[in-house]
């Protein structure tokens, strides 16, 4: 039997039946969905009520990207439902929903001895891990790759069962029936899903389910600026009127509130505090000591936070993180560190110290700066723990909380909540452990909310990096790059992250166990889309003592900045116009050329000369077959107030577009996120603490700073690519190149216009 990802769900389970999945051996899972009153379960993905409401189970975290609209849209389209009858609920914990493509992509993080065996989403090792470990993590834009086909198959099976029930009533062949707008139709006959749900749920699901001929996509030209999706976001009304429930909105009977203080980075130990300093503050319930933190619990959060301000917690720290020390370590690594070969094209390239051009780029740690700080609510009765929390990796958070309390995993229930922004910040789960321990000590339901300052202290930023790009240039006067090498000095942050996520290790233990290891994910995006014949990419792992993690764009955030700045520099020194220079080297990627041409027309590209303040950049994420592309033209200038960006124009190719509104929102939001990374959104450390304590200190763009943004999409029949990170990585190099056009100054450090930016 040919086992592939698309054959994992073999049939639909009915009302508590069995969903069959395969790993290295067959395994049966109880159907994770439970029918409510007057509801009928058709599969692990959907239920239909006697009122016609179709409830869709979504196993991914809603953190603003619109996943609770995207997956229901796929089911509604395949099922033939009316969008107004669609409802959403979080999917329960089950191996049925394993994110196999992400498990394969992260194979080196959970199985470092045999990563090559699982580097294809169809490989059985990744299947076994994702389903056996109930790995449903939301990351790396894998939602469609992991869940589009299972959703379509489930909806197609349910549609067939509804048609069979209707056909039997009418005495016709079910193949002659059609499902549209929540009804099954045959000639003049019409029955609603509500009328058919109960009897349809008793039919056997077809194997294989008959899919509609066309995959879900926007109709017409996706590049039309006035295109409006027929599937408005389901979460939008409640977010507009303030009724949307986040983790901090949970309210339980007899609940108290906790604030917390963490020690400086890294390996801090709580040694002393004075509880008597809080005697004048009303509502204090207790103080709870952790090994590396102190929490105060009160009948309101503000009292708890005020008590912590006065309680005088003191910590002993073995190593104090300092930015000057980090910079020195990265500099030493770039100059003299042992390099690991990550990728080679052609014969590779090594200049031997005689490169025609060499440029160095430096990137500070990037911070997530989510609007919602870490928040969680817990209730513990001595035997059972209940958690309300937003988590991108909920089963890992659940396991960590169970281990902290010495509970069996089955005695921990996690209620997934949406996140008020994440950018991969909620892949970490320290607050799940903390709130579980506090709830055990207090004996009452407790809600823990980190202050903004504590969010800054505990943020594990995107790793800093120093990059050296060297190239051999053609001697025909055209300035073509014939060979190049990217040498990247940065911590093996993804290996370190994997140690925390999958092995529940402390930050310093994860750093220790990752030291010196090559991290291919830390070099993503360094292999250029340009047709350069000979390329080498090297990683120099550097231990910097700062716990780092994943962030929107990940390594592409600094490799795209370095590559597109470097290409612009080579073009300038060769006397070449930046747009045509790029197009000339992109003969093997016509789709990216189309993005450049479309963006240049939209932005009235003037060549980036004569102090025009226009800068251009492009980038591809993923391989040439399935990757997403973006080209961006920025108009910017430098002034006394810093960087002023007046316009960002982007042309995007993300293959088949399922929901153009979501795609546009993600690109626009990504461009603003990239603008933030260009202007600030970075962390510097002194004595183990971040220098910036508040959002206002991060120089984030305000509404007044937000430029005019225009986004256009290239029509494509390629497989869909997640748009969430493309804008986030292309904005900074486009802005840097625009500032060169405006001022003649090359800025080679992120954030731009920092002290060492020139």
Residue 15 confidence (pLDDT): 36
Q: What is the pLDDT of residues 459-470, one digit of tens each?
A: 999 999 999 999
CATH of the domain spanning 337-366+461-750: 3.30.365.10
pLDDT at 261: 98
Report pLDDT for 643: 77
What DSSP letter does each residue of 48-114 carry, written as one string?
EETT--EEEEE-S--SSS-HHHHHHHHHHHHHT--GGGEEEEEPPS-GGG--HHHHHHTHHHH-TTS
pLDDT given for residue 755 in this prediction? 56
Residues whose CB is less than 8 angstroms from the CB of residue 83 and which lie 6 or more positions away in sequence, other chains included? 73, 76, 230, 231, 232
pLDDT of residue 94: 92
| pTM as predicted | 0.93
3-state secondary structure of 732: helix
Residue-level pLDDT at 754? 66
Cβ proximity of 332 and 543 under 8 Å: no
> What is the reported pLDDT for 501?
98
Q: What angle do CA 520, 492, 622 make, to 5 degrees?
A: 30
> Which residue blocks in 504-624 are alpha helix, DSSP H?
507-514, 556-573, 578-584, 590-602
Non-local (6+) Cβ contacts of 385 within 8 A are 378, 379, 401, 402, 405, 407, 411, 412, 413, 436, 439
Supply 427's token pair: 């892949």
Are 286 and 327 in contact by the 8 Å Cβ rule? The answer is: no
Distance CA 49, CA 502 (A): 38
Task: Note the pLDDT tens digit of each residue in 330-356.
Answer: 999 999 999 999 999 999 998 887 899
Joined together, the tokens standing for residue 505 give: 């290790």
Q: Residue 226's pLDDT is what?
A: 42
Q: Which helix (H) or strand (E) holds 43?
A: none
Q: Boundaries of CATH 3.30.365.10 in the chain?
A: 5-200, 337-366+461-750
pLDDT for residue 422? 96
**pLDDT at residue 8 in the model:** 26
- 226, 418 Cβ separation under 8 angstroms: no
- One of 3.40.50.10140, 3.40.50.2300, 3.90.870.10, 3.30.365.10 is the CATH number of 5-200, namely 3.30.365.10
Residue that the structure tokens 């750093």 belong to:
511
Residue 408, classified by CB atoms within 10 Å of its CB into exposed (0-12), middle (13-18) or buried (19+), is exposed
**Contact, 96 vs 74, CB < 8 A?**
no
Q: 496: part of which helix (H) or strand (E)?
A: helix 493-503
485 DSSP β-pair partners: 470, 536
Cβ contacts of 34 within 8 Å, gap of 6 or more = 16, 41, 92
Q: How high is the pLDDT of residue 113?
A: 72
The stretches in the chain having pLDDT less than 70 are 1-30, 114-122, 219-229, 641, 754-758
In this prediction, residue 311 carries a pLDDT of 95
Order of strands, edge to edge, in the sheet holding 628-639? Answer: 614-621, 628-639, 642-653, 708-713
């Amino acid at each position: 039997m040919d086992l592939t990802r698309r054959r994992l769900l073999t049939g639909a389970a009915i009302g508590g039946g069995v969903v069959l999945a395969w790993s290295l051996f067959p395994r049966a899972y109880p159907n994770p969905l439970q029918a409510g009153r007057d509801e009928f379960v058709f599969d692990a993905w959907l239920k239909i009520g006697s009122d016609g409401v179709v409830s869709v189970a979504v196993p991914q975290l809603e953190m603003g990207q619109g996943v609770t609209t995207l997956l229901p849209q796929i089911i509604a389209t395949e099922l033939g439902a009316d969008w107004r009858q669609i409802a959403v609920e979080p999917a329960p914990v089950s191996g049925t929903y394993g994110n196999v493509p992400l498990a394969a992509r992260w194979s080196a993080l959970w199985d470092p001895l045999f990563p090559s065996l699982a580097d294809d989403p169809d490989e059985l090792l990744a299947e076994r891990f994702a389903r056996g470990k109930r790995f449903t993590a939301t990351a790396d834009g894998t939602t469609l790759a992991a869940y589009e086909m299972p959703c379509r198959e489930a909806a197609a099976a349910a549609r067939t069962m509804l048609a069979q029930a209707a056909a039997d009533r009418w005495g016709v062949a079910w193949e002659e029936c059609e499902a549209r707008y929540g009804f099954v139709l045959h000639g003049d006959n019409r029955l609603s899903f509500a009328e058919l749900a109960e009897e349809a749920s008793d039919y056997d699901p077809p194997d294989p389910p008959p899919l509609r001929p066309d995959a879900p996509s926007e109709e017409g030209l996706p590049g039309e600026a006035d295109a409006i999706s027929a599937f408005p976001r389901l979460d939008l009304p409640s977010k507009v009127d303030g009724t949307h429930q986040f983790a901090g909105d949970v309210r339980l009977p007899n609940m108290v509130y906790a604030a917390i203080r963490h020690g400086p980075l890294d390996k801090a130990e709580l040694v002393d505090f004075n509880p008597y300093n809080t005697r004048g503050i009303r509502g204090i319930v207790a103080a709870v000591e952790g090994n590396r933190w102190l929490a105060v619990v009160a009948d309101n959060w503000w009292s708890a936070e005020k008590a912590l301000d006065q309680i005088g917690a003191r910590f002993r720290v073995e190593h104090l993180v300092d930015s000057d020390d980090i910079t020195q370590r990265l500099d030493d690594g770039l100059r003299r560190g042992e390099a690991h070969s990550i990728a080679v094209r052609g014969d590779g390239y090594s200049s031997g110290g005689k490169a025609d051009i060499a440029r160095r780029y430096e990137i500070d740690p990037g911070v997530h700066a989510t609007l919602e700080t870490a928040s969680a609510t817990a209730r513990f009765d001595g035997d059972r723990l209940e958690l309300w929390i937003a988590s991108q990796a909920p089963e890992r958070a659940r396991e960590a909380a169970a281990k902290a309390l010495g509970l069996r995993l089955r005695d921990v229930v996690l209620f997934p909540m949406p996140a008020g922004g994440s950018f991969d910040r909620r892949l970490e789960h320290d607050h799940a452990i903390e709130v579980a321990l506090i709830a055990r000590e207090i004996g009452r339901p407790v809600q823990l909310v980190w202050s903004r300052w504590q969010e800054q202290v505990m943020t594990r930023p995107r790793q800093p990096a120093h990059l050296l790009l060297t190239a051999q240039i053609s001697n025909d006067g055209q300035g073509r790059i014939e060979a190049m090498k990217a040498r990247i000095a940065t911590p093996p942050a993804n290996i370190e992250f994997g140690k925390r996520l999958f092995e529940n290790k402390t930050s310093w233990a994860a750093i220790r166990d990752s030291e010196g290891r090559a991290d291919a994910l830390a070099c993503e995006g360094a292999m250029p889309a340009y047709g350069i014949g000979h390329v080498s990419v090297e990683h120099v792992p550097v231990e910097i003592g700062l716990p780092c993690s994943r962030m929107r764009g990940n390594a592409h955030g600094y490799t795209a900045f370095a590559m597109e700045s470097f290409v612009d520099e080579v073009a300038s020194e060769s006397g070449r116009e930046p747009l045509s220079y790029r197009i000339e080297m992109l003969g093997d990627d016509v789709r990216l050329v189309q993005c450049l041409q479309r963006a240049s027309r939209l932005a009235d590209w003037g060549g980036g000369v004569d102090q025009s303040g226009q800068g251009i950049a492009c980038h591809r994420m993923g391989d040439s077959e399935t990757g997403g592309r973006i080209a961006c033209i920025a108009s910017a200038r430098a002034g006394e107030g810093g960087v002023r960006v007046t316009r960002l124009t982007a042309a995007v190719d993300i293959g088949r577009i399922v929901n153009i509104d979501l795609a546009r929102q993600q690109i626009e939001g990504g461009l603003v996120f990239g603008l933030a990374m260009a202007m600030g959104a970075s962390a510097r450390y002194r004595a183990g603490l971040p220098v910036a304590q508040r959002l206002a200190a991060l120089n984030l763009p305000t509404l007044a700073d937000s430029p005019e943004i225009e986004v256009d999409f290239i029509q494509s029949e390629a497989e869909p690519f997640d748009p969430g990170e493309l804008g986030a990585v292309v904005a900074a190099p486009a802005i840097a190149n625009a500032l060169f056009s405006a001022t003649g100054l090359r800025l080679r450090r992120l954030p731009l216009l920092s002290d060492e930016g020139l």
